[in-house]
C-alpha cells in the first residue's frame, strides 16, 4: 500500500496550511477548534493576560472543568475558580461546567467534524480522530499561541496504515483492539506517527469502539489516531448534528504509508495490560490469578454508553464481590442520561456499583476513588503507570468494561474469567 498519494492526515494538514514556504520542516497551520480543561488552561492564564491577548475565535473554543469537578480540595477550588473566571471574562461560547470529560464533550460537539484540525491542552485530544479528525494534544505554551492566533506549527507525521478486518468476537470491543495493538507495537510503536485506521471488518466497528481505539493511540506515541470516515461516521454525525457532514476526507488509493499493520479480529480474545505500562498486554486467559480491591469503569477511554451496557449485562442478577469497590463514572452527563433511560444505571447500582458524577476522577489520581498502597485495581482508564491512579505501591490493570465488570463480580482477575459460569 505504498505509493505517492496522500493519506488522510496529509490531506487535512495540506488543507490547513497557511504559510507558503514548503521547504521548512515545520509548517504553520490554522486550527478549526481548541479544547481546554481546568487543570491545564489554568497554567497559561497569567501569561495570556500579562500579554493582553484575546482569544482568536470564542465560538471555536470548548472549555470544561473536568479534572476538578467538583473540586475536592481548597487548592483545586482555587484552580477551578481561576479557570472559570478567565473563561467567563473571555466570553468563551462553549464553557461546559460539570458536564463531563473534555474529550467526550468534544466529540459530542458539532465543532468536531470530519476533516477538521483540532488541538487540545491534553494528550487524549487524539480521541476526536474517531470521526476522521486530525486532533492532537499540546503543552500549555503551544496552546497559548493557538488560543490567541488560531494557528500552530506542526511537523507532518509519517502515516501508518492499520487495517482492521475479520469478525469481532462478541466478548471483545474497541478496548481489546487497541490493547492488542499496544501488545504488537509497544508504547513507542507509533512515535510521532499518524495512525490511520481502516475499518474493513465484516461488521463495522461502532463509533464508541472507534473512540476507544483513537483515544489510546497516544499510548503508542501517535500524533494522530484517525479512522478513515465512512458510513458509521456519517450516521454518527448526522444523528448528533441533524445533518450529514459537509465532506469526508479519505486517503488516495495509492496513499504513501510508512508501514501497514494488519489486525485480524477473528483471532482476538479479551486483553488486559499489567502494571506498569499500557503496552504490557497479554490475553486475559494468560493472566495470573490475583484478588482485586477496586474496579473502575469510566474515563475518556471507556466511559461511554456501550461500556455501561456491557458492564450492566455482566452484573445482571449478580452481586459485586464484598471485597471490591466498583466505581462507575460516565464520560459525560449525556452518557449518564442515556444510561438512565436504558436501565444500565439501575442494573449496576442494584449489583452494588457506586456511581459518581461525570468527570476524570481516579483516572489521573484526582478524586472519587484514588487508590491506596494496598489496592489492586482493574480499570478502563487509559494509563496504568506507577502512581497514576494513586499510591506509588498500588497496582492497576487495564481492561475492557466487560472484563472490569466480571472481575468486580468475581473479586479477582484470572485465566478463567471468561470461562462458562464466570
pLDDT in tens, 227-286: 999 999 999 999 999 999 988 999 999 999 999 999 999 999 999 999 999 999 999 999
The DSSP symbol for 287 reads S
* pLDDT value of position 25: 78
pLDDT in tens, 145-186: 999 999 999 999 999 999 999 999 999 999 999 999 999 999
Q: Distance from CA of residue 102 to its chain's centroid?
A: 10
Measured between alpha carbons, how far is residue 22 from residues 18, 28, 156, 284 in Å? Answer: 10, 10, 11, 48
Answer for the pair 171, 265: CB distance below 8 angstroms, yes or no: no
Stretch 299-324: mean pLDDT, rounded?
A: 97
Stretch 46-57: mean pLDDT, rounded?
A: 97
pLDDT in tens, 13-44: 999 999 877 777 788 999 999 999 999 999 99
- 3-class secondary structure, 142: helix
Quote the crossing angle between the two packed helices 207-215 and 231-241, to the nearest 10°: 100
For the sheet with 134-137, list strands across it.
94-96, 61-64, 33-37, 117-120, 134-137
How many residues are there in the chain?
Answer: 422
**Within 10 A of 242 (CB to CB), how many other CB atoms are there?**
8
Q: Which of 301, 249, 288 is nearest to 115 (CA)?
A: 249
pLDDT in tens, 381-410: 999 999 999 999 999 999 999 999 999 999
The DSSP symbol for 22 reads -
Answer for the pair 150, 247: CB distance below 8 angstroms, yes or no: no
- What pTM value is reported for the model? 0.96
For 187-243, give the DSSP string: TTTTTTEEEEEEEEESSPPPHHHHHHHHHGGGGGT-SEEEEPP-HHHHHHHHHHHSS
- What is the rounded CA–CA span in Å between residue 9 and residue 248? 12
* pLDDT value of position 3: 67
- What is the rounded CA–CA span in Å between residue 325 and residue 332? 21
pLDDT in tens, 106-122: 999 999 999 999 999 99
- What is the rounded CA–CA span in Å between residue 404 and residue 5? 42
- What is the rounded CA–CA span in Å between residue 130 and residue 218? 13
- What is the rounded CA–CA span in Å between residue 419 and residue 239? 38
Amino acid at each position: 500500500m505504498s505509493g505517492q498519494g496522500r493519506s488522510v492526515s496529509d490531506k487535512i494538514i495540506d488543507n490547513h496550511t497557511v504559510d507558503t514556504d514548503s521547504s521548512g520542516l515545520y509548517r504553520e497551520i490554522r486550527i478549526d477548534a481548541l479544547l481546554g480543561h481546568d487543570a491545564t488552561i489554568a497554567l497559561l492564564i497569567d501569561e495570556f493576560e500579562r500579554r493582553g491577548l484575546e482569544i482568536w475565535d470564542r465560538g471555536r473554543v470548548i472549555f470544561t472543568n473536568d479534572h476538578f469537578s467538583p473540586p475536592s480540595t481548597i487548592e483545586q477550588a482555587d484552580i477551578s475558580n481561576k479557570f472559570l473566571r478567565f473563561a467567563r471574562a473571555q466570553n468563551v461560547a462553549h464553557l461546559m461546567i460539570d458536564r463531563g470529560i473534555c474529550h467526550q464533550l468534544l466529540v459530542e460537539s458539532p465543532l468536531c467534524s470530519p476533516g477538521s484540525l483540532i488541538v487540545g491542552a491534553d494528550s487524549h485530544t487524539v480521541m476526536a480522530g474517531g470521526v476522521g479528525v486530525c486532533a492532537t494534544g499540546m503543552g500549555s505554551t503551544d496552546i497559548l499561541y493557538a488560543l490567541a492566533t488560531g494557528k500552530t506549527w506542526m511537523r507532518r507525521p509519517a502515516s501508518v496504515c492499520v487495517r482492521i478486518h475479520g469478525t469481532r468476537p462478541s466478548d471483545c470491543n474497541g478496548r481489546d483492539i487497541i490493547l492488542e495493538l499496544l501488545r504488537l507495537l509497544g508504547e513507542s510503536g507509533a512515535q510521532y506517527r499518524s495512525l490511520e485506521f481502516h475499518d474493513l471488518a465484516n461488521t463495522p466497528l461502532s463509533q464508541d469502539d472507534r473512540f476507544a481505539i483513537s483515544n489510546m493511540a497516544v499510548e503508542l506515541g501517535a500524533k494522530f489516531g484517525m479512522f478513515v470516515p465512512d458510513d458509521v461516521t456519517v450516521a454518527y454525525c448526522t444523528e448528533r448534528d441533524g445533518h450529514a457532514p459537509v465532506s469526508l476526507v479519505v486517503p488516495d488509493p495509492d496513499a504513501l504509508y510508512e508501514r501497514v499493520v494488519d489486525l485480524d479480529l477473528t483471532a482476538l480474545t479479551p486483553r488486559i495490560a499489567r502494571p506498569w505500562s499500557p503496552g504490557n498486554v497479554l490475553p486475559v486467559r494468560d493472566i495470573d490469578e490475583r484478588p482485586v480491591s477496586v474496579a473502575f469503569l469510566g474515563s475518556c477511554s471507556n466511559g461511554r454508553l456501550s461500556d455501561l451496557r456491557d458492564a450492566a449485562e455482566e452484573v445482571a442478577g449478580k452481586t459485586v464481590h464484598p471485597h471490591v469497590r466498583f466505581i462507575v463514572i460516565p464520560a459525560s452527563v449525556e452518557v449518564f442520561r442515556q444510561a438512565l433511560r436504558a436501565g444500565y444505571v439501575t442494573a449496576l447500582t442494584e449489583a452494588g456499583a457506586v456511581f459518581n458524577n461525570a468527570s476524570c476522577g481516579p483516572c489521573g489520581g484526582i478524586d472519587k476513588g484514588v487508590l491506596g498502597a494496598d489496592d489492586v485495581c482493574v480499570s478502563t482508564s487509559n494509563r496504568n503507570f506507577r502512581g497514576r491512579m494513586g499510591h506509588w505501591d498500588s497496582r492497576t490493570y487495564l481492561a475492557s468494561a466487560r472484563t472490569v465488570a466480571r472481575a468486580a463480580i468475581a473479586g479477582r482477575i484470572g485465566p478463567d474469567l471468561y470461562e462458562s459460569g464466570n
